[in-house]
Amino acid sequence: MFAVGVGLDIGLQEHVLGQIAFLAATCTVGYSIIKKGLYGVIRSHRLDMNILITIAAAGAFAIGHGEEGATVMLLFRVAEFLEDYASDRARHEVGALLKLTPETAVVLRNGSEVVVHTHEVAVGEEVVVKPGEKIPLDGIVIRGQSSVNQAAPTGESVPVVKKVDDTMFAGTLNVEGYLELRVLKKSDETRVSRIVQLVDEAQRKKTPTEAFIDRFSHYYTPTVIALAALITVPPPLIFGLPIDEWFYKGLVLLVISCPCAMAISTPVSIVSGLTTAAKRGILIKGGDVIEKLKDTRVVVFDKTGTLTEGRPAVTDVIGLNGTTEREVVQIAASLGVKSTHPVSEAIAQKATEADVTLMPVTDFKSVPGKGLTGRLNGVEFFAGNRSLSNDVNSHPLNDVFDRLENEGKTLVVIGTVTRFSGVIGLKDRPRDKSAATVSALASRGIKTVMLTGDNERAAALFRASFASMSAMLSFCLMTKCDTSKS
């Protein structure tokens, strides 16, 4: 409509039709602005930018310059649109966090399994979680044992073994076993729900600049309107000057005083920062954070998935008792072909890279929290952690196992009921640019800290690997670090 007005008024010299097009554009985009401005005056007795824009636009049309009024209204509405866009994007991000947890839970009531919405589950009730399902609520294990993928709330790449009396978090994934939980918290009190609440609250906060503009407008708008009135009324009334000339000058003051640049610049900058960061995989929880970045003195990195690739990779393959490294990979990958465990997927990737042919498996069995068993060419093999191989004499190999574990690696032991065939070591590898990033921050005088749920030994080993790459990095264990003041 605005473009049509420009074409009619300037291009075809059809002034009246052009003004009608400008008026249509103003009413369309300015409806909410005019409504809020009048509401502020009538109901709240307050003069804000909305009423200033409304008066300026009305005055522009009154003196025959509708293009000025339409331009002012259009620019101001663009600023509001960008603010609305940022709010919608924030709500979308919060909604994505909520999707971490399932909407329903299987509850044991009167000896039967009943599917109910998580909001209807009371604290103390027992919930059933089958293999491949997400944990619906925070709770404690009362029956069963399984490996649980806690990557969503904690970032850990390797599933953690959960057994009776262990705590579970909503949004984590039960990988392989059957679990029964006693609910400890209602759906709106879980760890994930608390994260959502914090993010939502942070995104509603205005930046210091936006807050300043709001305060400034409380004084600026009444002052500008008062000055326009002084320019318009006293000269004709007291000095007998032409009323149309001074009315025009008063309206000019109103139009040029509309703070469109101030109103647009902040939301445009904030939205640009948020969207650009999002495209690069960085979630910023509010515009006020962007304004504070210039004062940053310490940067805290999560380890898994941020400093590291976020998934385990095979680092060591050791053949034992005459078994070759290729055969070790073949046995482990063949047993793990039916498993979705991240460790099995990493071994499968190693087999693919080494062009290893997998063998058919019979009598396959998954032992929750321990590993896998199955028959290959009629011989029963196992692949799992050391607890799965208790019947095999591991004393001669304890030094090998301890060495790999001291290097912060996850072990997969492969063998039969009578002997070990080999061991595979896996580790979450640092990202290619992690060390360079930490070093670049250090060169700017910014301290870097790693926040990790790993044990102290694993954290120290990772820090040592960074030190070898000339990157300074402190670390803070989630179980020991007080982050309440961060």
**Catalytic sites, residue numbers:** 302
Query: Any residues with CB less than 8 A from the CB of 464 and at least 6 apart, and which?
Result: none
Which tokens in the block code for residue 200?
Answer: 């939502």
The bridge status of strand 379-384 relative to strand 179-183 is unpaired
Residue 75: strand, helix, or coil: helix
Where would I find the H helices in 323-431?
Answer: 325-336, 342-353, 398-406
Please name which of 83, 166, 94, 180 lies closest in space to residue 136, comparing C-alpha atoms: 180
CB-count burial class (<10 Å; 0-12, 13-18, 19+) for 24? middle
Check if the beta carbon of residue 386 is closer than 8 Å to that of residue 411: yes
Provide CB contacts within 8 A for 91, sequence distance 6+: none
Amino acid (one-letter) located at 322: G
Distance of CA 133 to the CA centre of its chain: 22
360 closest CA partner among 387, 392, 339, 331: 331
Q: With contact defined as beta carbons under 8 Å apart, do 347 and 316 qualify?
A: no
Do the Cβ atoms of 143 and 180 come closer than 8 Å?
Answer: yes
Token duo for residue 386 = 């050391």
Write the CA distances from 363 to 294, 323, 421, integer angstroms.
61, 22, 19
For residue 370, list its beta bridge partners. Answer: none
Ordered strands of the 298-302 beta sheet? 298-302, 447-452, 474-477
Are the beta carbons of 81 and 67 closer than 8 angstroms? no
Are 252 and 60 in contact by the 8 Å Cβ rule? The answer is: no
Confirm if 414 and 424 have CB atoms less than 8 A apart: yes
Say if CB 183 and CB 138 are below 8 A apart: yes
Can you tell me whether residue 340 is helix, strand or coil?
Answer: coil
Nearest to 382 by CA among 392, 397, 393: 392
Per DSSP, 124 falls in state T
Q: In b/e form, how buried is each residue of 257-275, taking b as 16+ CB within 10 angstroms? A: bbbbebbbebbebbbebbe
